[in-house]
Amino acid sequence: MSKEQIINDIETKYQQLGENPETYLKGLLHAKPINYWDYVEADTLLSLQKPRTNFKDEEIFIMYHQVTELFLKMMVHEIKQLVYEPFNETIWLEKLDRLNRYTNMLIGSFDVMKYGMNYDDYNTFRSSLTPASGFQSVTFRLIEIYCTRLENLINEDGKTRLPNNPSTADFFEHIYWKDAGLNRKTGKKVTYTYTV
Ligand code: HEM
């Protein structure tokens, strides 16, 4: 594409937006070139590991959870496009491939947790982050809800508590993982970890 064509396209783009392209071209003239660490927010990202103990492996534990959260977000990113865009077989196959790749990476890399930390240190520093747990991962729950009907996230006990013609709110109230935090008989919260 020639330089003239690029500038033409920029002008057309902003004219179609009802904007004056010259303003944007001038802006380009003065804009600072973006660098890697500003673009990916490397400083912020690499400052997000805040261990609660002096155990060196606690930072591995934190970073691997953060890596997992980013992969789970990449999965939600793909699933949303499948859910909210019209069905297209080629696109679905491509995106299911991507979802499988991310899942395989998470499965394949879990050895980082299994063998990549000192067992005794882990069992010591783990108590310092109680009651936090991956159980509270919202991204994980989102993927569950995106990937199946709500009624499939209700266990046998939950099915006995559902009213007739349950609404979405009813299903959500009786979703399986809420059982971990709630005494369904007394309605009392059992532990802080699982309260939502
Ligand atoms: C040494 C590594 C790990 C151990 C020993 C571990 C242990 C556990 C345990 C015992 C539970 C049950 C709930 C609880 O008692 O808190 C749990 C749930 C969970 N953990 Fe981990 N975890 C580890 C790493 C991770 C990582 C890296 C993630 C990534 C985000 C993660 C995500 C989750 C999720 C989403 C649940 C809820 C699963 C469900 O409800 O089906 N865990 N984990």
> How far apart are the CA of 90 and the centre of ligand 1, in A?
34
Global pTM reads 0.88
Mean pLDDT in residue range 12-34 = 92
pLDDT at 81: 96
DSSP string, 21-88: HHHHHHHHHHPPPP-HHHHTTHHHHTT----SSS-HHHHHHHHHHHHHHHHHHHHHHHHHHHHHS---
Mean pLDDT in residue range 98-124 = 96
If pLDDT is split at 50, 70 and 90, which confidence band does 184 have? confident
Which residues 6+ apart lie within 8 Å of 195 measured at CB?
181, 182, 189
> How far apart are the CA of 51 and the centre of ligand 1, in A?
18
Nearest protein Cα to ligand 1, atom 3: 113
